[in-house]
Amino acid sequence: PQEGAKAQDIRFLRIGAGPTSGTSFSIAGLIANAISNPPGSRPCEKGGSCGVPGVIAVAQSTQGSSESLRSVARGGLDAALAQGDTLIAAVNGQGDFAGKAALKNLRAIGVLYPATVHVVVRKDSRIKTLRDLRGKRVSLGEKTSDAFANARRILAAFNIPLDQMAVYNLTANAAADLMAAGKLDAFFAVDGAPAVTIQDLAERVGIALLPLNGPPALKLADKTFLDSAEIPADTYKGVAATATLQTGIVLVVNAAMPDDLALGLTRALWHKNTAKLLANGHPVAKRITLETALSGLGNNIPLHPGAAAFYAEADVTR
């Protein structure tokens, strides 16, 4: 009977996190460990779990932010790591989420880290700007991916029609392999920097990154949840500092999540022990800080009331 009572206290949480090869999936796995606290765990103050009592969380792969958000909205997933620009479109009924496709029941727990747009070419390539992509073999990412959505938006802003390129729809891994073999000229990827796939390619063949700057980039930054940013020099071997665009990766839940559970998740996410776990687990995770938890959310993305209660306690404001 006692074991049965314990089993009833367990709450399983599934966190959607994009493809297994991406940074978000790795980070989601670390967060799942941090917020888990199954019955029988050692107490937090004695070196045990500092997660939510009774919670067992796991990362679950998806095709990208759009699929993850739709699944959270219908209750298929409990939470998701999603790009802020896609989340804004979903909540406000824009783009692919227009009309009845809007997902009004999504709520943010907090902003985690920036996902950066990479436009990758070989170091020995003559391609120096986005406009040089005309007539070239370019992978925009899989059609369901965040990279594809961002690539389309960026190319439109720079007035480069898709029909002026040989378009491929590949994962970053597949695109990197084709580029290494000399069968692809460029590819788009949206990931936390440094992205492992791009690091590996830089070591194999040498790469350059195309800059995303000037009036088209500034206009995009004004109209979307994309911000101007810079990939620092030597983030990838031999690559100079490069102007680009980035968006925040946001931890998202359904509005129906109980307030006490959302409060517990938020508290566990920002516990000092979680910071150590994240920093030791992935290079990008060092950029996950309480100080930037509400950066860029503005009034476009509603916070879950449980999360809002934590930030009020912690005196963190938008």
- pTM, two decimals, is 0.88
List pLDDT tens digits, range 30-45. 999 999 999 888 888 8
On the 0-12 / 13-18 / 19+ scale of CB atoms within 10 A, 222 is exposed
pLDDT of residue 222: 67
Mean pLDDT, 10 residues at a time, the chain of 318 residues: 53 93 91 93 86 96 93 98 92 86 95 95 96 97 90 94 97 96 97 91 96 91 79 96 94 97 96 90 89 83 95 90
Domains detected in the chain:
10-114+248-314 (3.40.190.10), 115-246 (3.40.190.10)
Contacts (Cβ under 8 Å, ≥6 apart) of 43: none
Output the pLDDT for position 100: 82
CB 266 within 8 A of CB 48: no
CA-nearest of 149, 146, 145, 125 to 137 is 125
